[in-house]
Amino acid sequence: MTEISKLAAAFAPHEELAAALLPHAFAADDGSHDAAHLIRVWKNAARIQAEEGSEARLLAAAVLLHDCVSVEKNSPLRTQASRLAAEKATGILKDLGWGTDEIAAVAHAILTHSFSANIPPETLEAKILQDADRLDAIGMVGAARCFYIAGRMGSGLYDPLDPLAEARALDDKAFAIDHFETKLFRLADGFKTEAGRRLAHEREQRLRDVLAMMLDEI
Protein backbone atom coordinates (compact mmCIF):
# COMPACT_ATOMS: atom_id res chain seq x y z
CA MET A 1 0.00 0.00 0.00
CA THR A 2 1.37 3.41 -0.98
CA GLU A 3 1.64 6.38 1.38
CA ILE A 4 -1.18 8.13 -0.52
CA SER A 5 -3.41 5.06 -0.15
CA LYS A 6 -2.75 4.98 3.59
CA LEU A 7 -3.58 8.67 3.93
CA ALA A 8 -6.67 8.33 1.75
CA ALA A 9 -8.15 5.83 4.19
CA ALA A 10 -8.49 8.67 6.71
CA PHE A 11 -11.04 10.34 4.42
CA ALA A 12 -13.53 7.45 4.48
CA PRO A 13 -16.00 7.02 2.90
CA HIS A 14 -14.29 9.13 0.19
CA GLU A 15 -11.06 7.15 -0.05
CA GLU A 16 -11.12 6.97 -3.86
CA LEU A 17 -11.59 10.72 -4.17
CA ALA A 18 -8.87 11.34 -1.59
CA ALA A 19 -6.43 9.07 -3.45
CA ALA A 20 -7.00 11.14 -6.60
CA LEU A 21 -6.67 14.52 -4.90
CA LEU A 22 -4.02 14.05 -2.23
CA PRO A 23 -1.07 14.23 -4.69
CA HIS A 24 -2.16 17.83 -5.39
CA ALA A 25 -3.34 18.73 -1.91
CA PHE A 26 -0.60 20.09 0.35
CA ALA A 27 2.95 21.37 0.68
CA ALA A 28 5.22 18.66 2.03
CA ASP A 29 7.56 21.13 3.76
CA ASP A 30 4.95 23.01 5.82
CA GLY A 31 4.02 21.24 9.03
CA SER A 32 1.08 23.58 9.64
CA HIS A 33 -0.53 22.81 6.26
CA ASP A 34 0.41 19.18 5.73
CA ALA A 35 -1.45 15.88 5.47
CA ALA A 36 -2.07 15.89 9.23
CA HIS A 37 -3.78 19.28 8.92
CA LEU A 38 -6.01 17.98 6.11
CA ILE A 39 -7.01 14.95 8.17
CA ARG A 40 -7.84 17.11 11.20
CA VAL A 41 -9.89 19.51 9.06
CA TRP A 42 -11.74 16.56 7.52
CA LYS A 43 -12.54 15.17 10.97
CA ASN A 44 -13.80 18.60 12.03
CA ALA A 45 -15.85 18.94 8.85
CA ALA A 46 -17.34 15.47 9.17
CA ARG A 47 -18.31 16.18 12.77
CA ILE A 48 -20.06 19.40 11.78
CA GLN A 49 -21.61 17.84 8.67
CA ALA A 50 -23.15 15.07 10.77
CA GLU A 51 -25.20 17.73 12.57
CA GLU A 52 -25.68 20.33 9.86
CA GLY A 53 -26.02 18.26 6.65
CA SER A 54 -24.47 19.32 3.28
CA GLU A 55 -23.23 17.43 0.22
CA ALA A 56 -20.47 15.26 1.65
CA ARG A 57 -18.62 14.60 -1.63
CA LEU A 58 -18.34 18.31 -2.39
CA LEU A 59 -17.24 18.98 1.17
CA ALA A 60 -14.58 16.26 0.99
CA ALA A 61 -13.16 17.69 -2.24
CA ALA A 62 -13.11 21.20 -0.77
CA VAL A 63 -11.31 19.99 2.36
CA LEU A 64 -8.75 18.05 0.34
CA LEU A 65 -7.93 20.96 -1.98
CA HIS A 66 -8.37 24.00 0.27
CA ASP A 67 -4.58 24.36 0.75
CA CYS A 68 -3.48 23.06 -2.66
CA VAL A 69 -1.52 26.28 -3.25
CA SER A 70 1.06 27.02 -0.57
CA VAL A 71 1.64 30.69 0.32
CA GLU A 72 3.76 31.58 3.34
CA LYS A 73 2.16 33.66 6.09
CA ASN A 74 4.57 36.53 5.47
CA SER A 75 4.13 36.56 1.69
CA PRO A 76 2.57 39.61 -0.02
CA LEU A 77 0.37 37.10 -1.86
CA ARG A 78 -1.10 35.75 1.40
CA THR A 79 -4.52 37.35 0.83
CA GLN A 80 -4.64 35.68 -2.60
CA ALA A 81 -3.90 32.16 -1.36
CA SER A 82 -7.49 30.91 -1.33
CA ARG A 83 -8.18 32.39 -4.78
CA LEU A 84 -5.09 30.69 -6.19
CA ALA A 85 -6.12 27.41 -4.53
CA ALA A 86 -9.66 27.70 -5.93
CA GLU A 87 -8.28 28.25 -9.42
CA LYS A 88 -5.94 25.26 -9.15
CA ALA A 89 -8.73 23.09 -7.72
CA THR A 90 -10.95 24.03 -10.64
CA GLY A 91 -8.38 22.70 -13.09
CA ILE A 92 -7.81 19.50 -11.09
CA LEU A 93 -11.51 18.69 -10.89
CA LYS A 94 -12.04 19.48 -14.59
CA ASP A 95 -9.34 16.94 -15.42
CA LEU A 96 -11.22 14.40 -13.30
CA GLY A 97 -14.42 15.01 -15.27
CA TRP A 98 -16.42 16.84 -12.62
CA GLY A 99 -19.42 18.90 -13.71
CA THR A 100 -19.41 22.68 -13.90
CA ASP A 101 -21.80 23.22 -11.00
CA GLU A 102 -19.92 20.83 -8.71
CA ILE A 103 -16.61 22.47 -9.53
CA ALA A 104 -18.06 25.93 -8.86
CA ALA A 105 -19.38 24.77 -5.48
CA VAL A 106 -16.00 23.37 -4.44
CA ALA A 107 -14.16 26.44 -5.73
CA HIS A 108 -16.48 28.77 -3.78
CA ALA A 109 -15.86 26.84 -0.57
CA ILE A 110 -12.10 27.01 -1.08
CA LEU A 111 -12.18 30.69 -2.02
CA THR A 112 -14.12 31.70 1.09
CA HIS A 113 -12.48 29.51 3.71
CA SER A 114 -9.56 31.86 4.30
CA PHE A 115 -9.49 34.42 7.12
CA SER A 116 -7.13 36.56 5.05
CA ALA A 117 -9.40 36.62 1.99
CA ASN A 118 -12.35 37.97 4.04
CA ILE A 119 -15.01 36.71 1.58
CA PRO A 120 -18.31 35.51 3.15
CA PRO A 121 -19.21 31.85 2.49
CA GLU A 122 -22.64 31.49 0.88
CA THR A 123 -23.21 27.72 0.78
CA LEU A 124 -23.43 25.20 3.59
CA GLU A 125 -20.34 23.37 2.33
CA ALA A 126 -18.40 26.65 2.33
CA LYS A 127 -19.54 27.49 5.84
CA ILE A 128 -18.57 24.05 7.12
CA LEU A 129 -15.13 24.18 5.49
CA GLN A 130 -14.45 27.62 6.95
CA ASP A 131 -15.50 26.46 10.42
CA ALA A 132 -13.56 23.19 10.16
CA ASP A 133 -10.37 24.94 9.07
CA ARG A 134 -10.64 27.60 11.77
CA LEU A 135 -11.16 24.95 14.45
CA ASP A 136 -7.64 23.79 13.62
CA ALA A 137 -6.33 27.29 14.42
CA ILE A 138 -7.59 27.33 18.00
CA GLY A 139 -7.32 24.92 20.92
CA MET A 140 -4.18 22.93 21.67
CA VAL A 141 -3.44 22.26 18.01
CA GLY A 142 -3.92 25.94 17.24
CA ALA A 143 -1.35 26.88 19.87
CA ALA A 144 1.10 24.32 18.51
CA ARG A 145 0.62 25.59 14.96
CA CYS A 146 1.06 29.19 16.11
CA PHE A 147 4.44 28.43 17.70
CA TYR A 148 5.48 26.27 14.75
CA ILE A 149 4.74 29.06 12.28
CA ALA A 150 6.48 31.61 14.48
CA GLY A 151 9.62 29.47 14.38
CA ARG A 152 9.27 29.04 10.63
CA MET A 153 9.03 32.82 10.21
CA GLY A 154 11.88 33.53 12.63
CA SER A 155 9.70 35.20 15.28
CA GLY A 156 10.30 35.15 19.03
CA LEU A 157 7.92 33.48 21.46
CA TYR A 158 7.15 36.71 23.34
CA ASP A 159 8.51 40.14 24.21
CA PRO A 160 10.60 39.51 27.34
CA LEU A 161 9.96 43.03 28.69
CA ASP A 162 6.24 43.28 27.87
CA PRO A 163 4.74 39.88 26.93
CA LEU A 164 1.12 41.12 27.07
CA ALA A 165 1.80 44.27 25.05
CA GLU A 166 0.61 46.54 27.83
CA ALA A 167 2.88 49.41 26.79
CA ARG A 168 3.52 48.61 23.12
CA ALA A 169 1.61 47.77 19.96
CA LEU A 170 0.84 44.12 19.31
CA ASP A 171 3.21 42.67 16.71
CA ASP A 172 2.53 39.06 15.76
CA LYS A 173 5.30 39.11 13.16
CA ALA A 174 7.81 39.60 15.97
CA PHE A 175 6.21 37.62 18.83
CA ALA A 176 4.19 34.41 18.67
CA ILE A 177 1.83 35.03 21.59
CA ASP A 178 0.81 38.40 20.13
CA HIS A 179 -0.95 36.35 17.45
CA PHE A 180 -3.35 35.02 20.07
CA GLU A 181 -4.79 38.54 20.49
CA THR A 182 -4.41 39.80 16.92
CA LYS A 183 -6.19 36.83 15.36
CA LEU A 184 -6.80 33.58 17.23
CA PHE A 185 -9.07 34.95 19.96
CA ARG A 186 -11.10 36.71 17.26
CA LEU A 187 -11.99 33.51 15.42
CA ALA A 188 -14.58 31.90 17.70
CA ASP A 189 -17.17 34.65 17.25
CA GLY A 190 -17.11 34.33 13.47
CA PHE A 191 -18.15 30.69 13.08
CA LYS A 192 -20.97 30.08 10.63
CA THR A 193 -22.62 26.87 11.87
CA GLU A 194 -24.17 26.07 15.23
CA ALA A 195 -22.04 22.95 15.63
CA GLY A 196 -18.93 24.87 14.67
CA ARG A 197 -19.65 27.64 17.15
CA ARG A 198 -20.06 25.18 20.00
CA LEU A 199 -16.78 23.45 19.21
CA ALA A 200 -15.03 26.80 18.73
CA HIS A 201 -15.91 28.11 22.18
CA GLU A 202 -14.64 24.88 23.76
CA ARG A 203 -11.34 25.14 21.90
CA GLU A 204 -10.93 28.85 22.48
CA GLN A 205 -11.01 28.19 26.22
CA ARG A 206 -8.21 25.65 25.77
CA LEU A 207 -6.22 28.27 23.87
CA ARG A 208 -6.76 30.79 26.67
CA ASP A 209 -5.61 28.15 29.16
CA VAL A 210 -2.42 27.61 27.14
CA LEU A 211 -1.68 31.34 27.20
CA ALA A 212 -2.43 31.58 30.93
CA MET A 213 -0.11 28.68 31.73
CA MET A 214 2.63 30.14 29.57
CA LEU A 215 2.33 33.53 31.21
CA ASP A 216 2.50 31.89 34.64
CA GLU A 217 5.76 30.21 33.70
CA ILE A 218 7.43 33.28 32.23
DSSP 29: T
In the predicted model, what is the mean pLDDT of residues 138-144? 95
Confidence at residue 132, expressed as pLDDT on a 0 to 100 scale: 97
pLDDT digits (tens, 9 = 90+) for 7-44: 999 999 999 999 999 999 876 678 778 889 999 999 99
Predicted TM-score (pTM) of this structure: 0.90
pLDDT-derived band at 74, boundaries 50, 70, 90? low
The amino acid sitting at 120 is P
For CA atoms 182, 186, 192, 193, give the dihedral sign: positive
The CA distance from 94 to 102, in Å, is 10
Domain ranges across the chain? 1-119, 137-218
In the predicted model, what is the mean pLDDT of residues 120-149? 95
Confidence at residue 13, expressed as pLDDT on a 0 to 100 scale: 94
30 vs 75, more confident: 30
Residue 30: HSE in the Cβ half-sphere, 13 Å Cα cutoff: 19
The CA distance from 146 to 126, in Å, is 24
pLDDT digits (tens, 9 = 90+) for 88-104: 999 999 999 999 999 99
Q: What residues contact 89, with CB distance under 8 A and at least 6 apart? A: 61, 62, 65, 68, 103, 106, 107, 110
Domain 137-218 architecture: Up-down Bundle (1.20)
Confidence at residue 80, expressed as pLDDT on a 0 to 100 scale: 78
The CA distance from 204 to 217, in Å, is 20
Centre a 10 Å sphere on the Cβ of residue 173 and count the other Cβ atoms it contains.
Answer: 14
Confidence at residue 73, expressed as pLDDT on a 0 to 100 scale: 66
Length, in residues, of the chain? 218
